[in-house]
Chain A
Amino acid sequence: MPAATPAAVVVAAKGLGLTFVTNDGPVNALSDVNLEIRKGEFVSFIGPSGCGKTTFLRVIADLEQPTAGSIAVNGLSPAEARVKRAYGYVFQAPALYPWRTIEKNVALPLEIIGFNDAEKRARIKRTLELVNLTGFEKKYPWQLSGGMQQRASIARALAFDADLLLMDEPFGALDEISRDHLNSELLKLWAATSKTIGFVTHSIPEAVYLSTKIVVMSPRPGRVTDIIESSLPADRPLEIRETPEFLAIAHRVREGLRAGHSYEE
């Protein structure tokens, strides 16, 4: 990689911690997380359940409030960034509104932000093309497969052109074949839009295949155990997953997960 001026920092976390107060006492969801996400990066967060990967994404999105340390999104607080609609968020479930057609679902953020009709139509057309859902504008969510619904929810997150895309296990509920397909689609989309992506997953192949940077996390308390810069080329056919380079990175991720996992508990 050429050592030109480094890209702007999109997310910067320093000593970030989050403790939930529950009836069973405090739960340490995040502890001393130090991390930078730069513009244009595809960063995956991987780890077992309870390692705080989703919580970290939700802190970036101002859906959870940290209890220690600091975090900046585009140099602003997460709340300020959210008010400026700095990110699009894709949840584990498509969370489409069942009473809206696909195009109306994509239009939802546009209506709230207040785009005019012509702009709305143009954006719906463009984003549905990006996720290969042209022709399904008038369908209701239940008429689409799970994978198509999740693509529609990605279109919805892309529609208002936020530079940062936060994705929380978006393909976790899908079968292996749809997932492979959507992974390669997502890489194309990322190349076409040059967005910064934060991606939570618990699949090692998915993380290695997609990311430029892999953040390995471990539970109790949720913390970062390893950050791996991927050496894979930008152009990644699905077959890349059988190359020694790919397997070496996957191995390192697996080692990181094993190191972070305490068997005493």
Chain B
Amino acid sequence: MTGKSAVPLIVVLIALLVAWYLGSVALNAPVLLDNYARNHIAFNWTQFVLDAWNQSRPVLPSPHQVAIEVWKTTMEVAPNSKRSLVYHSWVTLSATLLGFAIGTVLGIVLAVLIVHNDASDRSLMPWIIASQTVPIVALAPMFVVVTYNILTGDNLLAHAFHLNADSARLVSKGLISTYLSFFPVVVGMVKGFRSPEALHLDLMRTYNASRARTFWKLRFPIALPYLFTSMKVAVAASLVGAIVGELPTGAVAGLGARLLGGSYYGQTVQIWSALVAAAVLAGLLVVAVGIAERLVMSRMGARP
């Protein structure tokens, strides 16, 4: 990155940190002042601010507390330990990636149907939109429990896939990610598949090209920029889905489980460090999609 573009980023980062430290003092003040009063400790501004920033169970932990917690739980424990944030991030990431992959494929397939078939255009689209108006937090527990039970039960689907409990848990979480991530892909790809100009389509007609040929030679390549834009939204939504899928189901591993555990035991520092891990993960995923986009687009002759 050039110095020119890094300056605004650093300014915003500093502003956020200042706001965070101030917020930390403000939000932790009531408990702290109460504590001072009960233990007859004389008020001193410097001591007050330092105490507010270093509570063991703060209402809002200060940035350095979160940073230290993140450091300890990533660098100072083995990555496969249950106390490692890397371990929990990986659990969530695997569900995210599985769900994202299924969601992207599902989204593309639905978009193909919608673009090529009038009846599916009219029948599918309202349902697809309706699916996203249901609050996922309400749906996720039922969804995860039902799919888990189906996948581990005694039925055709379970016999077909032969999943053990861990894989079934992964898949049922991943399907929440799918639920959230297929939508932006459908919407983007419908737009993308419909983006050829009349001229491009006329050209294919003069060659007497079949619909399948027109799809592979024209509609699909022209829709690829739309696919990557949709995938950036979808991959972030997938992560949210995986975390939400872990929250209400008593999951013992994953960032969602860390969030839930933190809130049970009032471990706000743990909650915030899990949030930081989720944010970093989301950022990395979006960047990864961006890199894939740039590779594909440069191979497709995009102007540098």
> Residues on A close to B: CB < 8 A?
61-63, 82-83, 85, 87-89, 91-93, 95, 97-101, 108-109, 111-113, 140, 142
Partner of B208, one of A85, A92, A97, A101: A85
Known: A99-B300, A108-B217. A83 touches B203 (CB 8 A): no
Whether B199 pairs with A112 at a CB distance below 8 angstroms is: no
B206 touches A95 (CB 8 A): no
Q: Cα distance A246–B140 when bound, in Å?
A: 80
List, in ascending order, chain B residues with CB within 8 A of A95's CB: 197, 199-200, 203
CB-defined contacts of B218 to chain A, threshold 8 Å: 97
For the complex with contacts A95-B199, A97-B221, 7 further pairs of A-B residues with Cβ separation under 8 Å are A63-B202, A91-B203, A92-B199, A95-B197, A111-B217, A112-B213, A142-B301
Is there contact, CB below 8 Å, between A89 and B300?
no
Residue from A61, A85, A99, A109 whose CB has the most chain B CB atoms within 10 Å? A99
B205 lies within 8 A of chain A by Cβ: yes
Residues of A close to B217: CB separation below 8 A: 108, 111-112
- Residues facing A in B193-221 (CB within 8 A) are 197, 199-200, 202-209, 213, 217-218, 221
Residue from B218, B300, B301 having most chain A Cβ neighbours under 10 A: B301
What residue of chain B has the Cβ atom nearest to residue A162's Cβ? B206
Asked if B303 is at the interface (CB within 8 A of a chain A CB), the reply is yes
Bound-state CA distance A93–B198 (Å) is 11
| A85–B202 CA distance with the chains assembled, in angstroms | 14
Which B residue's beta carbon lies closest to that of A139?
Answer: B301
Chain A CB within 10 Å — which of B203, B222, B224 has the most? Answer: B203
In the bound complex, what is the Cα–Cα distance between A61 and B205 (angstroms)? 9
Residue pairs across A and B with Cβ atoms less than 8 A apart, 23 shown, are A61-B206, A62-B205, A63-B202, A63-B205, A83-B208, A85-B207, A87-B206, A89-B206, A91-B202, A92-B199, A95-B197, A95-B199, A95-B200, A98-B301, A99-B221, A99-B222, A99-B224, A99-B300, A99-B301, A108-B207, A112-B207, A112-B208, A142-B303
| CB-based contact A63/B203 at 8 Å | no
Q: Is the CB of A112 within 8 A of B209?
A: yes
A106 to chain B, nearest CB (A): 13
Report the minimum CB–CB distance from B208 to chain A (whole Å).
5
Q: In angstroms, how far is the closest chain A Cβ from the Cβ of B182?
A: 25
Q: Which residue of B lies closest to A100 (CB)?
A: B301
- What chain A residues lie within 8 Å of B207 (beta carbons)? 85, 108-109, 112-113
Residues of B within 8 A of A62 (CB): 205
B172 nearest CB across to chain A (Å): 39
Q: Which residues of A contact B301 (CB under 8 A)?
A: 98-101, 140, 142
Complex CA–CA separation, A208 to B204 (angstroms): 31
Cα(A88)–Cα(B209), bound, Å:
14
Q: Tell me, in angstroms, the Cα distance from A61 to B202 when the chains sit together.
A: 10
Distance from A235 Cβ to chain B, minimum over Cβ atoms (Å): 31
Closest chain A residue, CB of each to CB of B199:
A95
Measured CA separation A105–B213 after assembly (Å)? 15
B199 neighbours in A (Cβ, 8 Å) = 91-93, 95
Contacts A97-B221, A112-B217 given: A89-B203 contact, CB under 8 Å? yes
Q: Establish whether residues A82 and B203, one from each chain, have CB atoms under 8 Å apart when the complex forms.
A: no
Give Cα A21–Cα B222 distance, bound, in whole angstroms.
Answer: 31
- Contact mask for chain B residues 171-206; partner A; CB cutoff 8 A; 1 contact, 0 none: 000000000000000000000000001011011111
Residues of A near B197 (CB, < 8 A) are 95
Q: Which of A62, A83, A112 has the most CB of B within 10 A?
A: A112
Residues of A within 8 A of B209 (CB): 112
